[in-house]
């Protein structure tokens, strides 16, 4: 394989990884947001714990843990092969890294979904803390 071909294959794999992890991260952030607005106390607390956990643990630690953990598993033949340049026997590792990147970004994305309070509500008891 020529160097330029391998560059394009690597770029395509990165784009697929980014697109999948960011899409999944947005879905997880929406779930965190819905949970934090719930009237159910257990669900609201679980969403808050999830956001704080995913914001508190570095994303690189999630990725390393997923990579090490997934290499110890036997390859799952039912997973689709969608990551260019990744051998079929390592597709499950790429899927694990996608999940880890999504989880590491979901809490930060959830916090970025918070709307700023109006200037008159920024101080006082009406300010809501997520």
Q: Which residue in 92, 98, 83, 97 sits closest to 27, CA to CA?
A: 98
Please write the tens of the pLDDT for every residue from 34-54: 998 889 999 999 999 999 999
Q: How confident is the model at residue 124 (pLDDT cuts 50, 70, 90)?
A: low
Query: According to the model, what pLDDT value does residue 130 have?
Result: 47
Please write the tens of the pLDDT for every residue from 64-99: 999 999 888 876 667 777 888 788 788 888 889 999
Orientation of helix 3-36 relative to helix 41-56, angle to 10°: 150
- Residue 60: partners with Cβ closer than 8 Å, 6 or more residues away: 104
Q: Whole-model pTM? A: 0.75
């Amino acid at each position: 394989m020529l160097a330029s071909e391998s560059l394009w294959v690597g770029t395509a794999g990165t784009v697929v990884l980014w697109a999948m992890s960011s899409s999944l991260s947005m879905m997880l952030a929406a779930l965190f947001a819905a949970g934090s607005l719930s009237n159910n106390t257990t669900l609201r607390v679980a969403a808050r714990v999830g956001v704080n956990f995913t914001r508190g643990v570095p994303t690189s630690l999630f990725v390393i843990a997923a990579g090490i953990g997934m290499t110890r598993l036997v390859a799952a033949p039912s997973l689709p092969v969608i990551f260019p340049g990744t051998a079929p026997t390592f597709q499950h590792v790429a899927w694990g890294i996608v999940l880890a990147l999504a989880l590491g970004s979901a809490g930060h994305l959830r916090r970025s979904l918070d709307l700023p309070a109006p200037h008159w509500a920024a101080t006082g008891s009406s300010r809501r803390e997520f």
